[in-house]
Amino acid sequence: MLTWKLPRLLNVHQVPKVFHEDSIICGYRSPPNSATACVLSLFQMTNETLNIWTHFIPTWYFLWRMLALIFSPGFLHDPFLWPLLVYLLSCCIYPLMSTCAHTFSVMSTQARHICFFLDYGALSLYSLGSAIAYSAYIFPDRWVNSTFHLWFVSWAVLNSVISTGISCYSRLGFPFLHYNQHLIERFPEETRPRFSKVLRVTAFAYPYLFDSIPLFYRVFLCSGNECTHNATLTMHIWHSIFAFLTGFLFATHLPERLAPGRFDYVGHSHQLFHVFGVTGTYFQMEALIMDMNLRKKWLLDRSFVPSVSGTLGAWCSAMLISLLLIAVYSWALYWKPKELEKRKSN
């Protein structure tokens, strides 16, 4: 009879420091672990279980919405829908990468870093997908075809690459320089955790704030004619609220910081971060689709038609550069100078 042996769980003092989570005491999986054991842990209550499922399930919802768009009549011949496709593709990838990162991050120290490099890259691509859709659908009337509008996507591509670079740097430092003069490994996340956290928050917040400039202006600052006040404003406000709560939870580690050990399995900040994040994405998606439908005729008459290069081309360019950055950082995890190898051999 086939039996499954679930991985043994440890407390924070039994796992290497790189696997520690702020104010989480129990429920750690034992590193290093096999891929099979990581998958089996999905069906065991650990401090990562709900992190995994809160992003795995929404992935399928976003995939369904993307496939519904792709198979809708006339999709291939309607360039106005292409920005929405890029956005929905980004919505599918970021929770899927997060699911994989949290599932397989205990395979080894190197695997943990690489998993989260990919997770950060997916988040940066999601910010770019949002920018591409914002450029096509949500700019206030008076900003359409302005210089800022024309360069908006190009700047967002640069922001996406910078975001990937900063977030990877927050874990590893400069590639190939994570060895000090005594040839001992040092990682910013271990030696300067607060600085590392600030970098990571900045890496995620900066692209979001840039992408939201036209939205914030339209919703909170614009007055008079050409402000595009329509039925989507409520949805945009809900998205903004959930985006703020998502960032707040990620930065503060509440509520577990107030009661370490009480929220190890259910209710800690990263679980709430996932739930609020995908909820905010849902409101963002619905608002974009509503804006797209309500403003289609006006935008097609007055704005430029979305192109392959300005939508999928821009997104793929950022993806390739981000993957190159991730490859460099991943290679650096396995690179060791000859002096260190000699010292270890002696």
- 212 three-class SS: coil
CA distance 59 to 56: 5
Task: Please list, in sequence order, all residues whose beta carbon lies within 8 angstroms of the beta carbon of residue 60, skipping any fewer than 6 positions away.
Answer: none
pLDDT of residue 309: 93
- Summarize pLDDT for 34-70 with one digit per residue, the tens: 999 999 999 999 999 999 999 999 999 999 999 999 9
The number of angstroms, rounded, from the C-alpha of 35 to the middle of its chain's C-alpha atoms is 23
- Summarize pLDDT for 80-91 with one digit per residue, the tens: 999 999 999 999
CA distance 160 to 62: 21
SS3 letters for 9-56? Answer: EECHHHCCHHHCCCCCCCCEECCCCCHHHHHHHHHCCCCCHHHHHHHH
Phi, psi of 94 (to 5 degrees): -70, -40
pLDDT of residue 343: 52
Fill in the DSSP letter of residue 141. Answer: G
Closest to 213 in 3D by CA, of 164, 167, 274, 151:
151
Closest to 287 in 3D by CA, of 215, 223, 211, 209:
215
CA distance 160 to 157: 5
Task: Please list, in sequence order, all residues whose beta carbon lies within 8 angstroms of the beta carbon of residue 344, skipping any fewer than 6 positions away.
Answer: none
Task: Please list, in sequence order, all residues whose beta carbon lies within 8 angstroms of the beta carbon of residue 273, skipping any fewer than 6 positions away.
Answer: 246, 249, 250
Closest to 273 in 3D by CA, of 245, 231, 237:
245
> What length is written for the chain?
346
For the chain, the domains span 59-70+82-345
Six-digit token pair at 98?
């997060």
pLDDT of residue 8: 83
Question: Based on C-alpha coordinates, what's the Rg of the chain?
Answer: 22
Closest to 24 in 3D by CA, of 276, 292, 187, 262:
262
Q: Which residue has the tokens 């050990």?
A: 261
| pLDDT under 70: residue ranges of the chain | 1-6, 176-187, 336-346
Angle subtended at Cα 141 by Cα 139 and Cα 144, rounded to the nearest 5 degrees: 60
Q: What is the DSSP string of 73-109?
A: TT-TT-GGGHHHHHHHHHHHHHHHHHHHHHHHTTS-H
